[in-house]
Amino acid sequence: MPDLPRSFSPSSAGTYRQCPRRWRFRYVQKLPDPPGEPALLGTFAHRVLELLCGDPAPERTIDRARELARQVWPETAESRDFQALQLDEASQRDFRWRAWTAIQGLWSLEDPADVEVRATEQKVSANLDGVPFFGIVDRLDADASGLVITDYKSGKVPRERDRSKSLDQVLLYAAAVEDSSGERPDRARLLYLGSEILETSVTEDSLGATTERFSDTWRQVGEACAGDRFEPCTGPLCGWCPYVDRCDEGRLEVQQRVAAGRMRADAPARALLGL
């Protein structure tokens, strides 16, 4: 019977909700889940913005961000995960250009020189409704109305129907910050770099509903661990699951989708399964 993990994060909860079997591979068997190109691009952009926001406010300029991007680039380029992508020179240039576009996109949303940054990459642990929460807040700001939780996103803005769900992550950070500091943040925001800001007020109701969903997922994880039953949940995302070659149901799903022309050509599972 697998042990319950010592901590539970929004991304772990998201993986469980997407597919319990995938969660087992990742969090019980601890099999590697190497980041793909979009995740590495996000990590690079986050690192540059973290360093930028660690500088004194007046120095947070686009030129400074460009300088930091040059400094940080070798960390990314030499990492094993980046090397594993085997990008040729043109693709690496394209990667850097897209990463820079995301970084520069911060200025279309706000001027970082005007932000009072309290902390970056802040680790928060808390007990949320009995759940051992752990998360890392990209940026904790303060303005006239109070603390603001800010998280950067370098991907696409979610569809209308998924927008409020996507804010769960930052609301959980807000709940954890309140639990650990005693101060309730005023707002929680997702900054979709170059696109738009999704934002919500932090209220008793919004915190209650989000924490309840999180704790419900934790309860389901507990039941799954107790019975060692982690059902596969097949669907289009099997095409992006790094464990598809270990999962009979997922393999079948991908085979059927490929045969029906319903799987994108760039889905990594195709290469993994030789399809």
Which positions lie near ligand SF4, rule CB under 6 A?
A: 19, 21-22, 232-234, 237-238, 241, 243-244, 247, 249-250
Closest CA to 152 of 127, 115, 125, 97: 115
Strands 146-153, 116-128: parallel, antiparallel or unpaired by DSSP?
A: unpaired
Shortest spacing between CB 132 and ligand SF4, in angstroms? 24
Shortest spacing between CB 235 and ligand SF4, in angstroms? 7
Nearer to ligand SF4, 104 or 255 (CB): 255
Nearer to ligand SF4, 26 or 60 (CB): 26
3-state class of 140 per DSSP?
A: strand
Nearer to ligand SF4, 152 or 243 (CB): 243
- Is residue 190 a contact partner of residue 170, using CB atoms and an 8 Å limit? yes
> DSSP secondary structure string, 192-260?
ETTTEEEEEE--HHHHHHHHHHHHHHHHHHHHHHHHT------SGGGGG-TTGGG-HHHHHHHHHHHHT
Shortest spacing between CB 222 and ligand SF4, in angstroms? 20
Nearer to ligand SF4, 36 or 105 (CB): 36
Question: Which two tokens mark 133?
Answer: 């929460």
Nearer to ligand SF4, 33 or 121 (CB): 33
Dist CA 34 CA 181 (whole Å): 34
Nearer to ligand SF4, 14 or 132 (CB): 14
Shortest spacing between CB 192 and ligand SF4, in angstroms? 25
Q: Which residue is nearest to ligand SF4 (CB)?
A: 250
Shortest spacing between CB 219 and ligand SF4, in angstroms? 20
Shortest spacing between CB 151 and ligand SF4, in angstroms? 25
- Is residue 115 a contact partner of residue 187, using CB atoms and an 8 Å limit? no
Q: Count the Cβ atoms, other than its own, within 10 Å of residue 145.
A: 10
Q: What angle do the packed helices 168-181 and 204-227 form, to 10 degrees?
A: 100
Shortest spacing between CB 25 and ligand SF4, in angstroms? 6
Nearer to ligand SF4, 172 or 244 (CB): 244
Look up residue 8 and give its DSSP letter.
B
Look up residue 186 and give its DSSP letter.
S
> H or E segment at 133?
strand 131-143
